[in-house]
Amino acid sequence: MRKVIGNFKMHQTPTQTKEYLLQFMSKVDGTKNEVVLCLPATSLTTAKYMVSGSNIKLGGQNICDDDHAKTTGEISGDMLKDAGAEYVIVGHSERRTKFKENFRTNNKKIKLAFKNRLKVILCVGENLTERNTLKMLESLKIQIEESLKGIYENELERVVIAYEPIWAIGSGKLPTNKELDRAVKAIRKVITDDFSEKAGQSIQIVYGGSLDAKNVNQYLKLNTINGFLVGGSCLDPLEFATIVKEV
């Protein structure tokens, strides 16, 4: 079983979500894979009633890093949970770039997600400069360690690490199998060193960045990854259903 997660970013109104699910759900019925749709917060409640009883799970795309109510425009863990989310994305590079979020904010968000019984999809990945200057592994280590500071080993079962190289997001560029395998092994080593051998082996790791129904197959031979995080290609229900069924 693999995890196939869709990150809809700022796409899908509640009405569009309804239409999307009507097409998507019938196509993925019976899949053995775990499907998670990370929808805009405004679409979660609509989706909650539609996916109820199916194998499709929902996720939010952000959670506020504090839980006092006086924060205009933000969303809290209990709101996401009540709206139907089981997961929440933390630390996506778009939020790091646009809203100056960092790994310390990730850490606060992860703790608040756990407090609200949400699972976390923690995004990590190197930028092009780090890749070109061979600082990739160092960068991944810092990102993971800062984000998971103070997290207990038994909480890692509620964490999915999404390896999303920043240079691969929306660019049409993909890591080779060798590069991806190396990055995923490096992530497992960080978890092994900081927690335990068992934690390093069992942590769920998915890959994200420029995936589509045609190129996803190239990674199926890699048994080091547990699934995929899909951006642009999840917006077409038929293409996303193909990905879910093929992997």
Total interface residues for ligand 13P by CB under 6 A: 14
Q: Please give the residues from 208 up to 237 whose contact with ligand 13P meets the rule CB under 6 A.
A: 208-211, 229-233
- Find, among 189, 122, 105, 207, the residue nearest to 156 by Cα: 122
Tell me, residue by residue from 83 to 122, as one string, x for binding to ligand 13P by CB under 6 A and - for no binding.
---------x------------------------------
Backbone angles phi, psi at 222, to 5 degrees: -75, 110
Neighbours of 140 (CB within 10 A): 23
Binding segment for ligand 13P among 46-54, 126-134, 189-197, 202-210 (CB under 6 A)? 202-210
Contact of 91 with 101, CB cutoff 8 Å: yes
User: Residue 144 — left, alpha, or beta (φ > 0 → left; ψ -120 to 50 → alpha)?
Assistant: alpha
Find the shortest distance in angstroms from Cβ 39 to ligand 13P. Answer: 13
Residue of 92, 94, 101, 126 with catalytic role: 92
> Shortest Cβ distance from residue 154 to ligand 13P (Å)?
27
Shortest distance in whole angstroms from residue 233 CB to ligand 13P: 6
Query: Is 92 marked active-site?
Result: yes
3-state SS, residue 74: coil
Length of the chain: 247
Residues 168-187 that bind ligand 13P (CB under 6 A): 169-170
Alpha-carbon span 147 to 240, nearest angstrom: 30
- Other beta carbons within 10 Å of 75: 18
Does position 7 interact with ligand 13P (CB under 6 A)? The reply is yes
Q: Which residue has the tokens 């989310």?
A: 85
DSSP secondary structure string, 37-57?
Answer: EE--HHHHHHHHHHHTTSSEE
Structure-token pair, residue 38? 């990370």
> In this chain, which stretch among 41-49, 70-78, 144-152, 207-215 interacts with ligand 13P, using CB under 6 A?
207-215
Least Å distance between CB 63 and ligand 13P? 15
Q: How far is the CB of 160 from ligand 13P (least distance, A)?
A: 12
Catalytic residues, by residue number, are 92, 164
- Interface with ligand 13P by CB under 6 A: which residues? 7, 92, 164, 169-170, 208-211, 229-233
